[in-house]
Amino acid sequence: MTSRRDFLSSAAILGAAAAVSPMLSSAAAEKKGGSHYRPPVRWGMGGVALGNAFKVTPDELAEETMEGAWEAGVRYYDTSPWYGLGLSERRFGHFLDGQNREDYVISTKIGRLMVPDAKFRHGMWKGDLGFNYKYDYTAEGARRSIEDSLQRLGIPSLDIVFIHDLSPDNEDMKEKWMEFFDVAAKGAMPELTKMRDEGLIKGWGFGVNTIEPILKALEVSDPDLFLSATQYSLMKHEDALERLFPACEKHGVSLVIGAPLNAGFLAGVDRYNYGGTIPDGFKEKREKITNIAREYGTDLRTVALQFTAAPKVVSATIPGARSAEQAKQNAESMKAKIPSEFWSALKKEELIAQNAPEPGQA
């Protein structure tokens, strides 16, 4: 029987055999001479919505969404076994099967293994998904998770792997998150480093909704980049500027910004992040920013997305989408021009931090 290690080694050989397109062949995209992998694209697409987050997304709509994203120029896709308990990965895989592997960047995550369970239901993922999950941050668990993801995606290689939801905000862990962290420090982290050195992946890090696990990982390991969700947006960014960005810059690693629209809040949905509770004053702040954006000939979605992509430490921002129209709107927002005076107006009204990087700054 073929071992998981043999399976992944074969996958790496297949991936390495593919010719690399000019878009993805920049020196910044490879880990050479001690540099860390950084995706060579400014924005991408998150896969939470395609995992039936908050409501069921029909297969046809999911396919149309991915087609719309591709047509709009999106070439970085982020998914996870957790998103829809494997559904998001299967949907991405179905679409990407028709694309050249060298033409896009893809990241997924490890930390949870899917197990068949017809009766399991979860509050965030809607529909009859047929799977439950168990945590596994060991070395073997990391290898198993990546093998499973490759099979669901139907592709021979991955670019980025994030250790997922190993964080104090995880309701399954809470104050015990450090116990899981210690397992990962001895298992998943060195194993992912080994896989990177073997050429099986290009880079790895953490994908979390808080700052503390990122800072801790930088102390004990050699990650390449992090997916930081909900921590840097128009609504909340001061702590990231104060603690997260300097730490990443010191270690020469970059950040992918997840949930840049705060799970739809900055696109006009009255839902904030994944818990649903909107903090006091945030609706008023959103309205003020919306009104100022209108004065300068732009819109809330556009300024929110470009704000998250502006810092030099940020390699990409990855808003989600549930329709082709949303995917196209996100892409158009990233290409739009915003007057520099707009950002000065936000700072004057104290709606963003004075030291927040502005799009277009050198």
User: Which residues are known to be catalytic?
Assistant: 83
The arrangement of strands across the sheet holding 160-164 comes to 45-46, 76-78, 105-110, 160-164, 203-208, 225-229, 254-258, 314-318
Cα(190)–Cα(112) distance, rounded to whole angstroms?
Answer: 18
**b/e burial code for range 208-242 (CB count within 10 A of at least 16 → b):** bbbbbbbebbbeebbbbbbbbbbbbbbbebeebbe
Tokens of 312: 């030099």
Q: For residue 267, what is the DSSP state?
A: G
The pTM (predicted TM-score) of the whole model is 0.90
Q: What is the pLDDT along the chain (362 residues), one digit of tens a residue?
A: 444 445 454 444 444 433 333 333 333 334 444 589 999 999 999 999 999 999 999 999 999 999 999 999 999 999 999 999 999 999 999 999 989 999 999 999 999 999 999 999 999 999 999 999 999 999 999 999 999 999 999 998 899 999 999 999 999 999 999 999 999 999 999 999 999 998 889 999 999 999 999 999 999 999 999 999 999 999 999 999 999 999 999 999 999 999 999 999 999 999 999 877 899 999 999 999 999 999 999 999 999 999 999 999 999 999 999 999 999 999 999 999 999 999 999 999 999 999 999 998 75
* CATH code of the domain occupying 39-277+299-337: 3.20.20.100
pLDDT digits (tens, 9 = 90+) for 71-116: 999 999 999 999 999 999 999 999 999 899 999 999 999 999 999 9
Of 201, 309, 218, which Cα lies nearest the Cα of 255? 309
